[in-house]
Every structure is written in C-alpha cells, then in structure tokens.
Amino acid sequence: MHKGQIPHPTRSHESAKKATLQIRFVIVGGGASGLSCAVALRRVGHHVIVLEKGPDFIGPSKNRGIRMSPNMTKVFNYWGMRDKVDEIGIVTDRVIMSRLETAYLLGIHCWEHEMLQEAGGEFIAICHGDLRDMLLETARELGAETRTNAEVVEIAEDCRSVRLASGEVLKADIIIGADGSQGICRALVVPQDPPKTTGIMLFNSVIPADRIYADPELRSLVEQEQVSQWAWFGHERASVCFPIGPSKDLAWYFFVRDQGAQEGWNDVLTPEQFAPYVSDSEPRLQKLARLARPNRVRMMQRDFPESWVHDSDRLVVVGSAAHPWPPGVIYGPSMSLEDASVLAKLFSHLRNEEQIPSFLYAFQNLREERCQKNRELDIGNVQFMMEPEGEGTAQRDTMMRTKHDQGRNVLAGDDEDSNVAQWDQNRELFAYDAEDEADNWWVQWGLLQERSKASTHEDIGMFSLDISVGIS
Ligand SMILES: Cc1cc2nc3c(=O)[nH]c(=O)nc-3n(C[C@H](O)[C@H](O)[C@H](O)COP(=O)(O)OP(=O)(O)OC[C@H]3O[C@@H](n4cnc5c(N)ncnc54)[C@H](O)[C@@H]3O)c2cc1C
C-alpha cells in the first residue's frame, strides 16, 4: 500500500452480484471504454466479445500520460484492481503552480486526506497504453473474448448482429458502441456531427525519464519529496507535467490558443517546429521543448446525441461515442470507467429481456447530465489557467501567493476566491459513486417498474430479494 493511501472498500470480481439472465454483449471498439465495459459486464456474469479494428489494443496510446482522478481510481478500488493499478501508476500528492513566463511560484496544493477519503480514491498518473493493457488483461482473465483486426463495417437494422470487414457475422443481444467520436455506432445515433473547437490546441508528449534525469534543473520536476504535478498559468498559454508510473517518464501537456490543426493524434512536430510556441516560457519549459516530439492536437468537441440508445433498443453508445471529450484534460477516461460501472450495475439486475430498454435509457439518464457538466468543468479548468493577463488574473495570482506565504493550501479557504470556487466544483465531482447511482435508480425506479409488471406474489418476493443483494 502506498504511504498514506486511504483505506477503501473492495467489491471483488467474485463477490459482484451476477445477473439472473446472462446475455451476449458485442462491444464495438477496444479503447478504454470498450475494455472497461468488458471488465464490468464480465464481473456481473454477462457474455462479452470486444471487437477492435486495430492490430492491437494499445495503438498510439502507448506513449501518452493521463491523470486518473479519485472518482476513477475509486472504481478500480471497488473492483479489487488496486494492486494492478499500483504496478503501473504513481500516486500523486500535490500540485505545484507557477507562472508560465517567469516560473514565479504561485503556490502549492496538497490533496487533502479528508477529500480523498470522502472520494474513496486518489490521483494516480499513468501511461494511457498501460491502462488499456491492464483493462485488456483483466477482461481476458474474467473470460471476455477479445479480437483485433476485427473492424465492424455494418450493423443490422435490428442491431442484433454486426458484420466484420472479413465478412463474418456475429450475433448480439446488445451492441455497445464504444468506437469513439467518429465511429460507426455513433453515426447510427447522430447522423450529422460537425465538431466545434474549444478554442484550445494541445501539444502532448512523454519524455523518457533518462533524459529528464540527465539535466539537474529538469530532474527537480520528478525528484521531489512528494510526488508532484506541475501546472503553469500563462497569458493565453498553460502547461502541465507529471511523472507517469514507476518509470517516472514525464508526461507533458502544453496548451495554446487554437490556431487550426488536425483533430487526431497523427501530427507529430520536431523540436524546431515546436520551439516558437514555447518561446518566452520559463527555462524549464524551453528545455522540455528541446527534448519533446509532441503531437499537435486540436481540442475539438462534439455534441452529445439526443438519444444514446438506438431506436431498436438494442444498441447503446458509451465513452467518447456518447460524450466526446477533448484530449489533454483530466476527466474523459474517468467518465468512460464510470459509464462501464453504471451500465454493468444496471444489467446485474437482468432477469428478463423486457427489462433491456429501461436499463439502456436509465443508463443515459444517469450519465448524461454528469458528463455534460464535467466536460464543461474540465475545459473550464484549462481556460482558467490560460486567461489573458489583466486585473482578474493579477488578483487571482496575488490571492494564491498570499495563501502560500501564509503556509496554506492555495485552493483551500474562502468562497470569495475564484480559485477556490473552481476547485470546489472539482471536489464535488470526485465524490460521485457510479455503482451507488445505479443502485439508487434500481431501488427508486427499476424495482417499481418490475413490481407494476409482476402479477404473482412469488415474483414480488424475488424482486425484494434482488434489492437487498443489489445494495449490500
Ligand atoms: C490513440 C489515442 C491516444 C489518446 N491519448 C490520450 C491522451 O494522451 N490523453 C487523454 O486525455 N486522452 C487521450 N485519448 C482519449 C481517451 O482515450 C478517450 O477520451 C477515453 O479514454 C475514451 O475512449 P473511448 O474508448 O471511448 O474511445 P477511443 O479511445 O477513441 O477508442 C475507440 C476504439 O474503437 C476502435 N474502433 C473504431 N471504430 C471501430 C470499428 N468500426 N470496429 C472496431 N473497432 C473500432 C478504435 O480503433 C479505438 O481503439 C486518446 C485516444 C486515442 C484513440
């Protein structure tokens, strides 16, 4: 256990409540969402096949760092996967905030023990590819079938089967569209889908630890008493870096105003091409820029579909297919894991096929507002760091530094402070418990619907039994 790690309840794979009726889910897409759904649905006993069009499940995400927030690590804690997470991730203790142009220290915020305890998880930095690998391994251990080079090219009108590029047809009771923001499943629920810019462009890279350690000034970014994330607040620019996993390779994000670029992950810059964007930044950032080969990614966003459930009532979209998330912010992957957790918890109550539509619509109801709100918050966090210089930012910086000089956490304190107000919204987000949300729906609505359908005394008895197991 990591020093200071908070104790957390575990609901092991074996002890998870299994569905009475176990059906076949075909998951289109083997990204973080598809693989999370595979783990979650196998935990509750359903049959799962994951179809990934790429030659492997990792793809170009091998070399990218992400920050898992407490609401995400909480799910892994519940699922009894914490040991696996600790092998590949690193718990971060605090964030150090500075001005981007001058390195002037604004302050430090250590994650409060009370907040982490309430959330039931911690901040853990991890390589995106390792996350996918861990989910894949667990899905397979639990008996999920997983296939690569398996592109789904057609979905039957009734959504009861998919056809692969090879011509093979696979039958499904339910299709999970986890094929990202530009996939075939999403196109079935949102035919027209023009992306909009967030106004931000991201340079994203991971710099190997040996190159960081070779420079004493850069070494200080990873060699701290406590594991630290770094955040730089600048005029129309911002930056974040953090070590990922035990290797201490350094993930580095640099944000500028959108100047037009590709949306995907294929636009790789040389240090020379990157240098002009980083000019006038503090020396450590300029040094990082000389070591980086960043992807330039335009941070786009798409609308959420009005309905996440296809008219056939047999296909539902999840993850980026349901709530496309711009890259480089924090909460996208955590929303995918929460999706999986809620969906599986609902389907752990499956006793007959008539329940399927209500479970799928309940899934959207439970997830939509939260994802919408958190996407705004996530983008807002970056906007907040890169606000143009002026009276407002000067005041913000003075408040932070004053607290720091008083020996306080910079984001703790009075509500008047806009920094604190921004942080409070983030804190709220961490406390969410995906499985509890699904259980509450079952108790308040699901069971009521079942009761109204049940005609025999015996049936009512069985549903009552289901509640006690479900919320234990
Ligand atoms: C290469 C890559 C790198 C990323 N790096 C970062 C990062 O550094 N930081 C960050 O915050 N976020 C990153 N993201 C985004 C992040 O992974 C997602 O926001 C989040 O994890 C949810 O992913 P998802 O599984 O819903 O969608 P995606 O990650 O888009 O996965 C969708 C999967 O479906 C597969 N697929 C699509 N169509 C089909 C089909 N017809 N048949 C079969 N398979 C299909 C795709 O190949 C892909 O593997 C990255 C995403 C990708 C794809």
Query: What spacing in Å lies between the alpha carbon of 116 and ligand 1's midpoint?
Result: 28
Per the CB < 8 A criterion, the answer to whether 66 and 128 are in contact is yes
CA distance 434 to 341: 6
Q: Whose CA is nearest to atom 51 of ligand 1?
A: 61
Per-residue burial over 262-285, b = 16 or more CB atoms within 10 Å of its CB, e = otherwise: ebeeeeebeeeebeebbeebbebb
Residue 175 CA from chain centroid, whole number: 21
pLDDT digits (tens, 9 = 90+) for 55-89: 999 876 677 899 999 999 999 999 999 999 999 99
381 touches ligand 1 (CB under 6 Å): no
The average confidence (pLDDT) of the chain is 90
Residue 409 lies in a domain: no
> What is the arithmetic mean of pLDDT over 46-56?
97
Residue 422 lies in a domain: no
Per the CB < 8 A criterion, the answer to whether 261 and 254 are in contact is no
CA distance 296 to 275: 13
Residue 165 lies in a domain: yes
Query: What spacing in Å lies between the alpha carbon of 34 and ligand 1's midpoint?
Result: 9
pLDDT of residue 467: 44
Nearest atom (ligand 1) to Cα of 318:
26
Question: Where in the sequence is the domain holding 52, given as residue range(s)?
Answer: 24-90+128-193+302-381+432-449
CA distance 467 to 472: 8
Tokens of 240: 């974040």
Rg of the chain in Å (alpha carbons)? 23
Query: What spacing in Å lies between the alpha carbon of 31 and ligand 1's midpoint?
Result: 5
pLDDT of residue 465: 44
334 touches ligand 1 (CB under 6 Å): no
pLDDT of residue 260: 78
Q: Which residue has the higher pLDDT, 450 or 177?
A: 177
Residue 203, amino acid: F
Q: For residue 319, what is the domain's CATH number?
A: 3.50.50.60
Query: What spacing in Å lies between the alpha carbon of 68 and ligand 1's midpoint?
Result: 16
> What is the arithmetic mean of pLDDT over 137-144?
98
146 touches ligand 1 (CB under 6 Å): no
Q: Whose CA is nearest to atom 45 of ligand 1?
A: 29
178 touches ligand 1 (CB under 6 Å): yes
CA distance 368 to 22: 26
Tokens of 427: 């804190």
Query: What spacing in Å lies between the alpha carbon of 129 and ligand 1's midpoint?
Result: 11
Give me the half-sphere count of Cα atoms (radius 13 Å) on the Cβ side of residue 133: 16
Residue 359 lies in a domain: yes
List of residues 6+ apart from 447 with CB closer than 8 A:
463, 466, 467
For the chain, what is the domain count? 1
Residue 50 lies in a domain: yes
Closest by alpha carbon to 328, among 271, 263, 387?
263
Q: Tell me the pLDDT band of 16, cut-offs 50, 70 and 90.
A: confident
Closest by alpha carbon to 199, among 383, 389, 384, 390?
383
> What is the arithmetic mean of pLDDT over 336-340?
97
Query: What spacing in Å lies between the alpha carbon of 186 and ligand 1's midpoint?
Result: 13
281 touches ligand 1 (CB under 6 Å): no
pLDDT of residue 61: 64
CA distance 310 to 428: 32
424 touches ligand 1 (CB under 6 Å): no
Residue 317 lies in a domain: yes
Residue 283 lies in a domain: no
Residue 223 lies in a domain: no
What's the maximum distance between 2 C-alpha atoms anywhere in the chain? Answer: 75
